Amino acid sequence: MKQTTTAPLTMQNYINGKWVASESGRIHENRNPADPDDLVCTFPDSSPGDVDAAVAAAKKAYRAWRLTPAPRRAEYLFKVGAILSEKKEQFARDMTREMGKVLAETRGDVQEGIDTAYLSGGEGRRLSGDSVPCELPNKAGWSERHPIGVAGLITPWNFPMAIPTWKLFPALVCGNTAVLKPASDTPLSVFNLVKACEEAGIPEGVVNLVTGDGRNVGNRLVEHADTRVISFTGSSEVGRQLASACGKSLKRVSLELGGKNAQIVMEDADLDLALEGVLWGAFGTTGQRCTATSRLILHKPIKKRFTEMLVERVKGLKLGNGLDESVQVGPCVSKTQRESVHRYVEIGKNEDRARLVCGGEFYTRGECEKGWFYTPTIFDNVTRSMRIAREEIFGPVLAILEANDFDDAIETLNDTDYGLSSSIYTRDVNNAFRAIRDIEAGITYVNGPTIGAEVQLPFGGVKDTGNGHREASHTVLDIFTEWKSVYVDYSGRLQRAQIDTDDTV
């Protein structure tokens, strides 16, 4: 089916309330991964100097923004949420063109941004601290949140609007200003987000956008003396480098990194429900989610039957341009990503015992001939030690492992360097609660797939998945605020805590 496209947009950086060209003069092209002949937009390949200008603008704006009452800061976010809602379909279509996932998912991506705007806006009248009794008479004590300063926000391509809003909106409602650095594969969605912020009237310098690569833009943002907090979503390898760089200046850094998530299916599970879960978890977003189901752990008694059910459904999935409402699986985001996926498939084919059940090749049929499509792939007879069971592939590749019983399934799930999301399908309530207790992950689903997090609950993981912070929910506020403890002594005399506690009123 021929898709209608629009003329390519020429993007610019957004610094101090103005759209400006990069001082480098260089540009990059953003092309549709379903059809690389479709030029979506061009965007600046910025220099460290552009980052310096953006950080300077954010630092200047911080003086007034931090003193703007939090409920007033929240009103801007409510306006942004309304704009995103009004333009949801347009922004979803732009996102499908630039990163490939199907329209149902890009609409959900924008909706998550809308939800985050209203959740963060609600914190403008809360930003709760603790009021506690003091041990001495005529003395009050409480804690309150204060902003940190300029936030550097480095975001990935797989959720090109949702994840930037996870970072930007909490940062702003807490009183920080921000410099956004989007992924080079998906700058348009962040451009649309920043345009919405501009339309909402957010004061100049509070939100800034600089596009470009990690070497010139990302590194400068991390190392700049005037960025006081960095929030990054990406690979564990890059996360370690950022943690090291931020550690040198004791700069706060929040890292949301990789995953090697597993879904367990026990003998007593609703197999039809579990089948729908793994199809969505493994092949939604073409497997390009940090929460994607990349391991399927099947209880031995149902393994053969369930595998046959799964393979039949996977072979029937429709690949194509995500603008076609009937398509179920879009392309990989880029040629480079597709090649990376294929390298892992070749590794799997050469690992002892692993058996390629379906997929494992470029998909070039019909209108998919030009795009970066890859057939949904399943490996059976996978063991814990295999690379395809241990390393993040970030593509439509699923490894099936066998478990002898419940304890073996939990042990297999936990045998990974990552710990983001997890899932178990069972009708046994006791095993469900044991799984919740014993699984080593930041998220556990019972009778649901490994994907589908909601913004009102904390998002993040353990082990190599991050450094302990949690995005979304109220927990994200701890990334973007400093705690201050306040004591007010209205006794009119010196009172010494821990010393004068025997005094009477």
Reading the block at residue 408, the tokens are 């073996």
Contact 267, 302 (CB under 8 A): yes
What Rg value do the Cα atoms of the chain yield, rounded?
A: 24
Contact 42, 200 (CB under 8 A): no
- In the block, which residue shows the tokens 């189901």? 293
How many CB atoms are located within 10 Å of the residue 210 CB?
A: 29
How many CB atoms are located within 10 Å of the residue 346 CB?
A: 10
Residues involved in catalysis: 256, 290
**Which one-letter DSSP state was computed for residue 366?**
G
Contact 259, 420 (CB under 8 A): yes
DSSP β-bridge partners for residue 262: 295, 422
Task: Compute CA distances 221 → 74, 182, 198, 295, 326, whole Å.
Answer: 26, 12, 22, 35, 41
Query: What distance in Å separates the CA atoms of residue 476 and residue 222, rounded to the nearest whole number?
Result: 19
Q: What are phi and psi of 36, to 5 degrees?
A: -60, -10
Which of 30, 35, 36 has the alpha carbon at shortest distance from 321?
Answer: 35
Which of 299, 259, 277, 278 has the alpha carbon at shortest distance from 405?
Answer: 299
DSSP β-bridge partners for residue 423: 263, 445
Contact 357, 345 (CB under 8 A): no
Query: What distance in Å separates the CA atoms of residue 67 and residue 428, rounded to the nearest whole number?
Result: 53
